[in-house]
Amino acid sequence: MTKIAVVEIEGCMASSAAITHDVMATANRISAAKRVPPFKVTTVRCGSRRSSVDLRGIELVIVPGLGTATADALDVKLKSPACRHAGDMLRRAHGRGAMLAASCASTFLLAETGLLDGRRATTTWWFAPLFRQRYPAVELLTEQMVVADWPIATGGAAMAQMDLMLAVVGRFAGPGLAKACANYLLLDGRRSQAPFMAITYLASQDPRIAKAEKWVRDNIARDFAIEELAEAVALAPRTFARRVAATCGVSPIQFVQRIRLETARFLLETTRLSVEQIARQVGYAEPSTLRRLIRRDTKHPPGHFRPAA
């Protein structure tokens, strides 16, 4: 039986905490008829007063999402007594051999402890540029839904806590039970955050990149070189590449592709245009190119996004 502590920091995302407990309870319920339940879960609530909770003997500490929606709110939260206390607990627990798991903005709390330095991690996609800026020693894999770089695992945005918890079940109780939990809870496998990442939101954080995003949309039906795009926003190609990477976490080519694919998916969902027509409208001469890129990024063919008849 794996001993788990769920550290719920004051003001944490209620759905993230509930998902954690629901998946653990489901795993125990499914296993009950065959063997001893695989998980013993303890809840630790961390508020403004310093907690004297001892995590000795705990094998895994899970931190649900912090529940912050803006960079300013996140900065305030990370400086709060509750987060400082939680960070101290995480360091001590990890020092005694406990594994750690966190998703969404709680990945920032792990990074604040320094325990992610030199490791691979993911975080909520809209905070990715801020994460890179604050923690350059962490190898950030934004597009991944879960990065299980044990003894530390991280998850992406909000509901990625579900994916993270299935990874936890798989790690500690076996992939068979993780699959059974997913089936019981009607959860589809999701390996990437990419289909959910809104490039417009990310680009808006840098005026030049926001201008580049608009320029791409205005010229989306034609072929153009990245050098032309950089020139349109008065940046040298290398400077443009650095700014795109810092703001959106992608290369210039991926930046353009993301806009083309986002537009194509919108047209698939809202029109009856053929794939061939949509491909031309978003700048792909060959429909096969659009089909391949949609399948690569979403794991579905274009027809999957058509409205029901």
Q: Which of 7-16, 58-67, 153-162 has the lowest mean pLDDT?
A: 153-162
139 contacts 119 by C-beta, under 8 angstroms? yes
pLDDT digits (tens, 9 = 90+) for 203-260: 877 889 989 999 999 999 999 999 999 999 999 999 999 999 888 888 999 999 999 9
Work out the average pLDDT over 53-82: 92
Tell whether the model's pLDDT for residue 271 goes beyond 90: no
Partnered with residue 148 across adjacent β-strands are 153
Quote the pLDDT of residue 125: 85
Q: What is the mean pLDDT of residues 177-188?
A: 83
Per-residue confidence (pLDDT) for residue 192, from 0 to 100:
66
Does residue 100 have a pLDDT over 80? Answer: yes
Q: What pLDDT, in 10s, does the model give residues 109-152? A: 999 999 999 999 999 988 888 999 999 999 998 878 899 999 99
For residue range 17-53, what is the model confidence (pLDDT) as tens digits? Answer: 999 999 999 999 998 866 789 999 999 998 867 666 7
307 pLDDT more than 80 = no
DSSP letter string over the chain? Answer: -EEEEEEEETT--HHHHHHHHHHHHHHHHHHTTTSS-SEEEEEEEE-SSPP----TT-SEEEE------SHHHHHHHHTSHHHHHHHHHHHHHHHTT-EEEEETTHHHHHHHTTTTTTSEE---GGGHHHHHHH-TTSEE-TTBSEEEETTEEEE-STTHHHHHHHHHHHHHH-HHHHHHHHHHTT-----BSGGG--HHHHHTTSHHHHHHHHHHHHTTTS---HHHHHHHTT--HHHHHHHHHHHHSS-HHHHHHHHHHHHHHHHHHH----HHHHHHHTT-S-HHHHHHHHHHHHSS-GGGGSPP-
Share of the chain above pLDDT 70, in %: 94
Taking the C-alpha atoms of residue 51 and residue 174, their distance in angstroms, rounded to an integer, is 33
pLDDT tens digits along 273-302: 999 999 999 999 999 999 999 998 888 899
Place of tokens 């992406």: 156
